């Protein structure tokens, strides 16, 4: 069943300029894998060379950070929305 | 390219910097991208600074707040077009920390200097390139 993945502004050029993409998956990890399979240019922006999610990329399942759920193994279904947001920080 | 914003919204984000002085303020700019790559700000959303360990010289917006803003903006047919933060008693120019921790390429990063509690110069910088080649470019603010 399709799960909606919301794509943040800076990653849309690598996702066919779409603000959301639908993927079929049973876990968040599978959804992200299928997302980069559909849009291979996204891979290096989401994952480091060792395949881990980049530290500044936050992935939420609905309102929950997957780091505090079961990470990649977090179950997902068609009523869920996965949101990707790069972090926003800085300072002098 | 320029960042278009009303004087009222520009005043709003500058006032936020005065309210949180001597700590850094931060927030999100929501609006529209135009075909030519310019941006128009339609709302300024103040966020909390989660860097309570060093709020005078660091800011961080909770991902949960960003998620909510991104989701609501998408539903409204709008986009996150940029962010803002203040530099208390520091110039309105980006720092190496600002660049290191900036990841929203194509978006504007607005910085307001707040001197002794009063908002001073406000500048905008476009985060250009991609994660490997990212850099800030000066960006005009068209306020009216």
Domains of chain B: 2-143 (3.40.140.10)
Q: How many CB pairs under 8 A join A and B?
A: 97
* pLDDT tens digits in sequence order for chain B, 144 residues long: 899 999 999 999 999 999 999 999 999 999 999 888 789 999 999 999 999 999 999 999 999 999 999 989 988 999 999 999 999 999 999 999 999 999 999 999 999 999 999 999 999 999 999 888 999 999 999 998
How far apart, in whole angstroms, are the C-alpha atoms of residue B124 and residue B109? 6
Say if CB A75 and CB A27 are below 8 A apart.
yes
Q: Which residues pair with B127 in a beta bridge?
A: B136
What pLDDT does residue B35 have? 82
Q: Which residues pair with B119 in a beta bridge?
A: B114
What pLDDT does residue A62 have? 94
What pLDDT does residue B37 have? 76
What pLDDT does residue B140 have? 97
Please give the order of strands across the beta sheet that includes A64-65.
Answer: A20-24, A2-6, A81-86, A57-61, A64-65
What is the band of A34 on the pLDDT scale with cuts at 50, 70, 90? very high
Residue among B59, B64, B66 minimizing CB distance to A91: B59
Q: Which residues of A touch B (CB under 8 A)?
A: 6, 8-10, 13, 19-20, 44-45, 56, 58, 60, 63, 65, 81, 83, 85-92
Query: Domains of chain A by range and CATH?
Result: 2-86 (3.10.20.30)
pLDDT digits (tens, 9 = 90+) for A1-24: 699 999 999 999 999 999 999 999
- Long-range pairs of B20-23 with CB within 8 A, sequence gap ≥ 24: B20/B49, B20/B55, B20/B86, B21/B86, B21/B88, B21/B114, B21/B117, B22/B56, B22/B88, B22/B89, B22/B117, B23/B49, B23/B55, B23/B56, B23/B88
For residue A33, give how far its alpha carbon lies from the nearest alpha carbon of chain B (Å). Answer: 20
What pLDDT does residue A63 have? 92
What pLDDT does residue A1 have? 66
Chain A partners within 8 Å of B63 (Cβ): 58, 60, 65, 85, 87
Q: Report ipTM for this prediction.
A: 0.94
| Region for residue B48 given its phi and psi (left: phi exceeds 0; alpha: psi -120 to 50; beta: otherwise) | beta
Produce one character per residue of B78-93: b if its CB has 16 or more CB atoms within 10 Å, e if not. bbbbbbbbbbbbbebe
Chain B partners within 8 Å of A81 (Cβ): 71
pTM, two decimals, is: 0.95
Residues 41-70 in B contacting A (C-alpha not used; CB under 8 Å) = 51, 54, 57-61, 63-64, 66-68, 70
User: What Rg, from alpha-carbon coordinates, does chain A have?
Assistant: 13
Say if CB B3 and CB B30 are below 8 A apart.
no
Query: Are B79 and A19 within 8 A, CB to CB?
Result: yes
**pLDDT of residue A39 exceeding 90:** yes
């Amino acid at each position: 069943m399709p799960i909606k993945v919301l794509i943040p502004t800076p990653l849309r050029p690598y996702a066919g300029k779409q603000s959301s993409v639908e993927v079929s998956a049973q876990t968040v990890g599978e959804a992200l894998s299928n997302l980069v399979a559909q849009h291979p240019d996204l891979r290096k922006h989401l994952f480091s060379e060792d395949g881990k999610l980049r530290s500044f990329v936050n992935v939420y399942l609905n309102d929950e950070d997957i780091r505090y759920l079961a990470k990649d193994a977090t179950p997902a279904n068609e009523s869920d929305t996965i949101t990707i947001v790069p972090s926003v920080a800085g300072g002098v | 390219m320029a960042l278009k914003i009303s004087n009222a919204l520009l005043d709003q984000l500058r006032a936020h910097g005065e309210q949180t002085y001597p700590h850094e303020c931060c927030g999100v700019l929501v609006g529209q991208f135009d075909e030519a790559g310019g941006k128009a700000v339609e709302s300024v959303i103040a966020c909390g600074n989660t860097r309570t360990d060093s709020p005078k010289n660091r800011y961080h917006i909770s991902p949960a707040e960003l998620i909510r803003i991104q989701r609501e903006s998408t539903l409204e047919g709008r986009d996150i077009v940029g962010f803002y933060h203040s530099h208390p008693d520091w110039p309105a120019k980006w720092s190496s920390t600002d660049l290191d921790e900036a990841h929203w390429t194509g978006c504007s990063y607005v910085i307001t200097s707040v001197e002794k509690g009063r908002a001073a110069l406000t500048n905008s910088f476009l985060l250009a390139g991609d994660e490997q080649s990212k850099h800030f470019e000066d960006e005009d603010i068209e306020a009216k």
